[in-house]
Amino acid sequence: MTLAKRCIDGFDLLKNLGAVPAAHFALQRLRNRVAPPELLTVRSRYAAFPLVCRRGTSDLEVFGQIFSHREYRCLDSVRDAGLIIDCGANVGFSSAYFLTRYPTAEVIAVEPDSGNFAALQRNLAPYGSRAKPLRAGIWWRSAGLMVTDSAYAGDGREWARGVREATGGETPEVHAVDIGTLFAKSSHDRISILKIDIEGSEEAVFDAPCPWLERVDNLVIELHGPSCETSFRRALDGHGFKMSTCDELVVCMR
C-alpha cells in the first residue's frame, strides 16, 4: 500500500467511523494479523449495534469497504426506505448499514454460505423483526444449488461465495429463491432498494424475465464480467432507470 493510499484509508476511517471506533478498528485489524481471537468486535457510527468479524477471514475487509470507505454512499440521496432486499448479504454488514441508515426499513438479507450466514444472523439479531435473514441462493428459478468459490474474485475467501445449480448426482447445499418471490411474499408494494452482489449469478437472473423491475425504486449492483453486464443492461432497458457508477458499483435510480 502506498503512502497516499494509507493516508486516504486513515482519513476515511476517521471521517466515517469516528475517532474512537476508528482507533478500535485499527487495533482489531492489528490483532487479526498478529494474534487473532476467534471473534473481533468492530463498531461504526453507521451501525446502530456492534458487529462481529471472524478471525482469518475477509470480514474485516468487507467492514472497511462498507463502513470506512462507505461503499453505499451512492444511495445518500434516498431519504426513506420501506423494503430493502440485500442479495449476497455475506455476514450482514451491508444489511446493518441499511437498517441503521433507514430506521423504519425492513431488510431481507439473503446469503447462501453457511458460515457467512451464521455470522449474518448474529450481526442482525439486535435489529429484531426488521431484519429477515434467509439462507438461500439468488437464482432465476426454483432449484437446488451448490455453494461455490467465485471465479471472479479468485481468492477462495468468504466474500466471494457464489452458487450453481446442482447436478443430478449432487445433494443440493441450499435452495434457490428468485427476487420476484421474495417481493411477492413481503408486505410491501415497492422495493425501495435492491442491492445485488451475487458473484456472477446476475447473468442467469437478468437473462430471465424480470417483471418485478417495475416495482424497484433504486438498484445497486456489482457486475462480474462482460456477459453479466450485457444481460443486466438489456434487462433494464426501457424501465426508466438513470444509470451511474460508483467505484465498482452500477447504480440505477428512478
Query: Do 178 and 206 fall within a single domain?
Result: yes
Query: pLDDT per residue over 36-70, tens digit each?
Result: 558 899 999 999 999 999 988 999 999 999 999 99
Tell me which amino acid residue 63 is: F
Report the domain count for the chain.
Answer: 2
CATH number, domain containing residue 202: 3.40.50.150
Query: Do 93 and 219 fall within a single domain?
Result: yes
Tell me which amino acid residue 61 is: E
52-56, 88-92, 166-170, range with greatest mean pLDDT: 88-92
Query: Do 136 and 16 fall within a single domain?
Result: no
3 state DSSP class of 179:
helix
Query: Do 131 and 221 fall within a single domain?
Result: yes
Q: Which domain holds residue 128?
A: 71-253
Q: Which of 23, 62, 54 is nearest to 36 (CA)?
A: 54
3 state DSSP class of 25:
helix
Query: Do 41 and 116 fall within a single domain?
Result: no
Query: Do 160 and 110 fall within a single domain?
Result: yes
Say which DSSP state 136 is in: -
β-sheet bridge partners, residue 218? 193, 253
187 grid coordinates: 408486505
Query: Do 76 and 122 fall within a single domain?
Result: yes
pLDDT confidence tier of residue 7, bands split at 50, 70 and 90 = very low
Query: pLDDT per residue over 201-240, tens digit each?
Result: 999 999 999 999 999 999 999 999 999 999 999 999 999 9
Query: Do 32 and 6 fall within a single domain?
Result: yes
Residues 6+ apart with CB under 8 A from 11: none
